[in-house]
Amino acid sequence: MEIINQYISGALVPLALILCSVFFFVRLRGRPMINPSAIVKSLFKRREESGVSSIRAVIFALAGTLGVGNIVGVASAIALGGAGAVFWMWVSAFLAMILKYAEVVLAVLHHRERNGENYGGAMYYMKDFLKSCNNISRIFTFIFTFFCLLNGFTMGCVIQANAISNSFSSTFGVSEIWVGAFLLLLSVIVFFFNGKKIFSLCEKLVPFVSLLYIVMSLAVILPARERVPLVFSEIIEGAFSFRSAGAGALGFLTSRALRYGTIRGLFSNEAGCGSSPIAHATANTNSAVEQGFLGVFEVFIDTMLVCTMTAFVILLNWEGAAQFLSTPIMMAFAAFSQSLGDISNVLLSVSVFLFAFATIVCWGYYGKECVYFLNRSKRAERVYYALYIAFVFIGSWISLDFVWELADLAVGGMTLMNLLIISLMSGEVKRETNRYFKCR
């Protein structure tokens, strides 16, 4: 599977991201990217009081993106691809902003209603686009939904639970089994007894934990600001060193920095892979374009801000972090503690727990919507939740090597399928964008 992922995640996905991003930038004349004032206005616009507001939808989407990918994913990318992987995370984020815009616009335009509330996602606009070819539509959307579920069970569930158990085990000496049992109980309460308040739970968790993590990161970075230019130059130099992969174009596309920087960037911001449209489709909004602007904002906060802070904390304290290359979560812990002392372990454990559990909750909802797309029975939903919660427990103590490979495959497959469809539907995105700016 590693060989397959090397070419999917290391070659096809980066190439597809570049080509599709350039295509959308030209087709939309860069409007979603060169109008920051429109993004700011969409953030502060007065919202509808009924249903899920635009801001609640983007916060819920951030719950799925602002997870362990911002800590473990970044550490893993640096461990596997070197400092240069950070540069390719930035590139993938910048390229993916306009793709996030496009998929969010399509998700809002093709949403459905259920019990007076909106729902939808990438599988619905795929279904609408392929409706004239019913057999192809069923097969295509089934494969995409399968990849989405696989991504939910791996990246959204197992990897998050494992990060929580590792952090609590190392900081407080709690057995991973007991941490898993606690997460199991908490998940049962959330998914079986508190399902209607999932959005409210994430809405409260995400801003608090994001602020906590940003303050901690700044406490490390600001005192060492004189060394920041050196770290930046190390990132740039590493990004264009392809000796391990050989020379020429093949070396570029198969370089470890590019592969892991790009795929971990996608793990973090989920732009282009078609998962966060599930959250944005719930928004009660009159403007698909304004919701698309919020999607651009989501990518910026996730990768350009939070992931960058993690990367600089690790690289500024590389001496301590490098001792734990095989355990990415401990790389982050060692980096923070080297600057802030033992108190950082407690604060970081709390941050990891809140980040990761918010992601578990969000991806639990994403998975439920995937199951609903395939089978609308309540029994199927209950079986799914039971399996998902079981994987929360299992994820707290199993090894992640194979899980990361499965997650790479899932997000790579989702991204390639989603990019194909949104590119073919670009005319619809262009019409909606032109209509919005003509009215301004």
Longest CA–CA span in the chain (Å) reads: 61
- Top-ranked range on mean pLDDT: pick from 123-127, 286-290, 410-414: 123-127
* Per-residue pLDDT at 182: 93
Structural domain contains residue 358 = yes
Give the C-alpha separation, 221 to 129, whole Å. 47
Cα 213 to chain centroid, rounded: 17
Percent of the chain at pLDDT exceeding 90: 35
Q: Which two tokens stand for residue 319?
A: 């001496």
Structural domain contains residue 28 = no
* Per-residue pLDDT at 194: 62
281 pLDDT band, cuts 50/70/90, is: very high
31 pLDDT band, cuts 50/70/90, is: confident
Radius of gyration of the chain (CA): 20
Contact 240, 22 (CB under 8 A): no
Q: Residue 240 is which amino acid?
A: F
* Per-residue pLDDT at 61: 72
* Per-residue pLDDT at 252: 36
Structural domain contains residue 426 = no
SS3 of residue 24 by DSSP = helix
- Structural domains counted in the chain: 1
Region 116-124: what's the mean pLDDT? 93
Region 56-65: what's the mean pLDDT? 71
Q: Parallel, antiparallel, or unpaired: how do β-strands 112-114 and 117-119 relate?
A: antiparallel
Structural domain contains residue 146 = yes
Helix runs in 270-400, H state only: 277-280, 288-299, 308-316, 318-321, 328-340, 343-374, 378-395
Q: What is the pLDDT of residues 134-165, one digit of tens each?
A: 899 999 999 999 999 999 999 889 988 998 99
Q: CA-CA-CA-CA torsion for 200, 308, 218, 404, nearest 10 degrees? A: 60
* Per-residue pLDDT at 196: 55
91 pLDDT band, cuts 50/70/90, is: confident
* Structural domain boundaries enclosing 104: 2-16+55-126+139-419
Q: Is the confidence at residue 66, as pLDDT, over 60?
A: yes
190 against 262, higher pLDDT: 190
Structural domain contains residue 393 = yes
Which of 233-242, 276-285, 368-377, 408-417 has the lowest average pLDDT?
233-242
Q: Is the confidence at residue 183, as pLDDT, over 90?
A: yes
SS3 of residue 264 by DSSP = helix
139 against 52, higher pLDDT: 139
Q: What is the pLDDT of residues 321-336, one digit of tens each?
A: 888 887 887 888 899 9
CATH number at residue 374: 1.20.1740
* Per-residue pLDDT at 190: 85
* Per-residue pLDDT at 250: 36
Region 47-58: what's the mean pLDDT? 64
202 pLDDT band, cuts 50/70/90, is: low
SS3 of residue 113 by DSSP = strand
* Per-residue pLDDT at 248: 36
Percent helix, strand, coil in the chain (nearest 5)? 85, 0, 15
* Per-residue pLDDT at 106: 97
Structural domain contains residue 25 = no
Q: Which two tokens stand for residue 241?
A: 């060193």
* Per-residue pLDDT at 260: 52
- What value does the mean pLDDT of the chain take? 83
Contact 218, 70 (CB under 8 A): no
Q: Is the confidence at residue 57, as pLDDT, over 70?
A: yes
**For the stretch 292-329, what's the b/e string if a residue is b when 16 or more beta carbons lie within 10 angstroms of its beta carbon?**
bbbbbbbbbbbbbbbbbbbbbbbbbbbebbeebeebbb
| Other CB atoms within 10 A of residue 67 CB | 30
DSSP classification of residue 192:
I
Q: CA-CA-CA-CA torsion for 318, 319, 325, 331, nearest 10 degrees? A: -60
Q: Residue 212 is which amino acid?
A: L
Give the C-alpha separation, 99 to 413, whole Å. 16
Residue 114, strand partner residues: 117
17 against 114, higher pLDDT: 114
Structural domain contains residue 133 = no
Strands (E), 128-277: none
386 pLDDT band, cuts 50/70/90, is: very high
Residue 52, strand partner residues: 283
* Per-residue pLDDT at 243: 43
Region 55-77: what's the mean pLDDT? 73
* Per-residue pLDDT at 79: 83
Which of 53-62, 169-178, 310-319, 431-440 has the lowest average pLDDT?
53-62
Supply the pTM of this predicted model. 0.84
Q: What is the pLDDT of residues 214-267, one digit of tens each?
A: 899 999 999 998 999 999 998 888 877 654 333 333 333 334 444 554 555 555
Give the C-alpha separation, 232 to 190, whole Å. 42
SS3 of residue 132 by DSSP = coil
Structural domain contains residue 47 = no
DSSP classification of residue 286:
S
351 against 197, higher pLDDT: 351
Q: Residue 176 is which amino acid?
A: E
